[in-house]
Structure 1
Amino acid sequence: MKHRTLRTALITALVIPLGACASLTENVEDLFEAPPPEVAGLVTLAERYTTERDPQDNVDSAATWHGPAGQHWLIATAKETDRLLVYDAVNGKPLQKVGASGTALGQFERPNGVFVIDDLALIVERDNRRVQVMRLPDFAPLMHFGSDGEDALQKPYGLWVQKLASNDYRVWVTDNYETADEQIPADAQLDKRVQQFLLRETAEGFTAQRERRFGDTAGRGRLKVVESIWGDPQQGLLMVADEEEQVERNIKVYRMDGQFSGQRMGGGVFHYQPEGIALYTCADGSGWWFAADQGKKANYFHVFERRSLEYYGSFSGEITLNTDGVWMTQTPSPGFPGGAFFAVHDDGNVAAFDLTEILTSMNLSTCAAPAP
């Protein structure tokens, strides 16, 4: 997320002539990013591949699908061109582009977060203020939700989905609504930063019911600037990245009932913006949290112990910068026998890393993934 701060507005007013392009503003803003810090024990790894790059797409998030016919797909959202980009997850080869601009089913307006579970792809559309549900492999549009009622999503960004019994799913969506002048609302208005829905498949199709909305309005659990979210059902926790630049950057730890746990992960570790989150899980309950530290001059992926939430270490790619979304798959595929880790690279494409190489290079314990 590129949050428009007062600092950016002042820079624009002072140094950008009327009619100058927006990209110049971004370049001036880049001058204020802190120089790359020294990260003790940093491991640098080569990307296995990067997908073809088109900066016009403005890629934000990615997810993988492992189909019953042997498909291994990497699906990325393109915010500016309003479509999904589909690649072969094994080698990054382009397969297809899905969707176009619009409000109808099968169309998108600034698709941001994407989540794949079973044969469903759920896509957050910021400017349509909804979550669209599609069936794979055909990307058949099924329904959308979140845009109705007085509690409608206002500026949704990220999502995480939990499989429940039968054909039910619970969906959490972050909502980074702002004031009319694009500022962070007053603390008292931060009580609906996350919305929770129950998605259910019936004989007549899918239904979605809003279950709750939540966010602390005071204290350590306030969610100022939200986008990425991920859950750990075994621990009963939700991790919500807070990107606010003027305070300590960290990940707020909520419980799945919408209550703040009192914990924050990564305080003092993040140098830039806490962004994409992923979880490496083991059947015995152990594992590792991965979180992107989004910087344009340097870009890190920090690792935390699953149970204690304590910081363990960091790695980076040789070329990957400015990462928004990440996605981890523990499903083996050709060339990635222990799974893969994907990270968006500088708004234009996606970088792939071998998950086994990450784990062994950082001396992280490995395990068999839990049964689905």
Structure 2
Amino acid sequence: MRARPVLGLLALAVLAGCKPGAPEAAAPAVDAAAATTGRSVATVAETFQTPMTPADNIDSPASWTTPEGQVWLIATAKATDKLVVYDGQTGEHLRDVGSTGTAPGQFMRPNGIAVVDDLVLIVERDGHRVQVLQLPSFTPLGTFAAEDLRKPYGLWVNKQADGYDVYVTDSYDAGEDAQGNDVLPPLAELDKRVRRYALQVRDGKAQATLTASIGDTSEAGALRVVESIWGDPANDRLLIAEEDETYASEFKVYTLEGKFTGTTFGRDAFKAQAEGVMLRTCGKDGWWITTEQGKQRSVFHLFDRNTLKHVGAFQGNTVANTDGIWMTETASARFPHGALYAVHDDQGVVAFDWDSVAKQLSLPLECEK
């Protein structure tokens, strides 16, 4: 969670009649979850909790299964500029990786993280770049995007036949107000909220090229405060969390090419800031798992993959103030149908057994191919 932004002076001039800090008088976008009423939240006990290390300021997790079948749970530590590696089956702390700096393998406030194949990609907010490491040795392969990114946070990686498309959110601001809050740029300047890169890894080197700058500048489609992002290539959807609570906590739907579809969802479901998002597939169906970042307790809302309708919500016994989440569908001894990992109060990570989540929300475990 970050300081709440306020609208820049130029944008206030354009939006004459709007009070500072108040929602803009915009024509409502289509809310695919408008039928959500009431608030029924199931409780699912956490399977484990990693050691709590408040000094690290843990932000986002990802997992990787080693060739030997061991599950590594890797989390970014913003305050100590490193990666923390846990056992993904038990939560036991295994090792730390990295240190403060700009050299290969060092980090400047690592934030977003993604694992694909044997690569781990790290977004460095204060380093203004994305770093690529190769597992299991965490060997640095290169960095990219430093010439483009200003205040990057999250990312999603879409595997291609000849490489990867990497989408990176960039929540740049227009300075700070007298109270130290980030000032939101005018809508016309929000056209680079997401950057897309074509990444290739060859001969032990990672190289990427900027292929698109994404961001609608209309009141309905603009991305005011961005961090979490995930995609669904089968449905040509890119979901981006809108974290500006003064406007709305919701998810906006773009195409993979970066066009706003006119659809938003979740506005009426979220009572706190929209945060992490992941897709759990189930054949051609599945569920979007989204995070409501409650200070006292996080709530995880599930929406139908295809219709975007709200299908249920759950919370843990303790997990709260969640930033990043990671869904693994890989079967393991502890988690036969996969696990959902969620950051707990900036201090560590908890795990949910997907079997337990599916049972509580009456979701099918077995899916048609």
Q: TM-score, normalised by structure 1?
A: 0.87
Aligned to 2:241: 241
Q: Which residues of structure 1 form unaligned runs of 5+? A: 7-37
> Is the contact between residue 281 and residue 369 of structure 1 (CA under 8 Å) also seen in structure 2?
no
Q: Which has the higher contact order (CA 8 A, sep 6+)?
A: 2
Between the aligned partners of 1:340 and 1:326, the Cα distance in structure 2 is 11
1:336 aligns with 2:335: yes
1:170 aligns with 2:169: no
Between the aligned partners of 2:314 and 2:136, the Cα distance in structure 1 is 33
Aligned to 2:156: 160
Alpha-carbon deviation of 1:40?
2.7
Between the aligned partners of 1:131 and 1:199, the Cα distance in structure 2 is 11
Please, which of 179, 183, 186 is the counterpart of residue 174 of structure 2?
179
Between the aligned partners of 1:53 and 1:293, the Cα distance in structure 2 is 21
Aligned to 1:58: 57
Alpha-carbon deviation of 1:39?
5.8
Q: Would the alpha carbon gap of residues 369 and 147 (structure 1) be closer, same or farther in structure 2, given more than 3 Å must change? A: farther
Tell me the amino acid that sits aligned with residue 97 of structure 1: D
Aligned length: 335
Describe the superposition over 1:177-221 as per-residue Cα deviations: whole angstroms up to 9, x where unpaired.
Answer: 001222111111100000000001234632100001110111321
Aligned partner of residue 359 in structure 2, secondary structure: helix
Aligned partner of residue 333 in structure 1, secondary structure: coil
Which 10-residue stretch deviates more, 115-124 or 202-211? Answer: 202-211
Q: Would the alpha carbon gap of residues 312 and 297 (structure 1) be closer, same or farther in structure 2, given more than 3 Å must change? A: same
Tell me the amino acid that sits aligned with residue 69 of structure 1: E
Describe the superposition over 1:18-71 as per-residue Cα deviations: whole angstroms up to 9, x where unpaired.
Answer: xxxxxxxxxxxxxxxxxxxx9632101111111001111000000000121212
Aligned to 1:289: 288
Describe the superposition over 1:142-172 as per-residue Cα deviations: whole angstroms up to 9, x where unpaired.
Answer: 1000002xxx100000000011004x00000
1:313 aligns with 2:312: yes
Aligned to 2:268: 268
Between the aligned partners of 1:255 and 1:78, the Cα distance in structure 2 is 31
Tell me the amino acid that sits aligned with residue 276 of structure 1: G
> Is the contact between residue 65 and residue 74 of structure 1 (CA under 8 Å) also seen in structure 2?
yes
> Is the contact between residue 297 and residue 318 of structure 2 (CA under 8 Å) also seen in structure 1?
no
> Is the contact between residue 232 and residue 238 of structure 2 (CA under 8 Å) also seen in structure 1?
yes
Between the aligned partners of 1:331 and 1:135, the Cα distance in structure 2 is 20
Tell me the amino acid that sits aligned with residue 154 of structure 2: G
Q: Would the alpha carbon gap of residues 338 and 218 (structure 1) be closer, same or farther in structure 2, given more than 3 Å must change? A: same
Describe the superposition over 1:257-310 as per-residue Cα deviations: whole angstroms up to 9, x where unpaired.
Answer: 110011112121111110000111122x10001100001023200010000001
1:134 aligns with 2:133: yes
Aligned partner of residue 253 in structure 1, secondary structure: strand
Aligned partner of residue 227 in structure 1, secondary structure: coil
1:91 aligns with 2:86: no
Between the aligned partners of 1:312 and 1:108, the Cα distance in structure 2 is 39
Aligned to 1:18: none
Aligned to 2:14: none
Alpha-carbon deviation of 1:136?
0.2
> Is the contact between residue 291 and residue 301 of structure 2 (CA under 8 Å) also seen in structure 1?
yes
Between the aligned partners of 2:2 and 2:54, the Cα distance in structure 1 is 15
Aligned partner of residue 234 in structure 1, secondary structure: helix
How high is the sequence identity, in percent, across the aligned residues? 47
> Is the contact between residue 4 and residue 244 of structure 2 (CA under 8 Å) also seen in structure 1?
no
Alpha-carbon deviation of 1:312?
1.1
Between the aligned partners of 1:294 and 1:273, the Cα distance in structure 2 is 5
Which 10-residue stretch deviates more, 215-224 or 231-240? Answer: 215-224
Alpha-carbon deviation of 1:368?
4.7
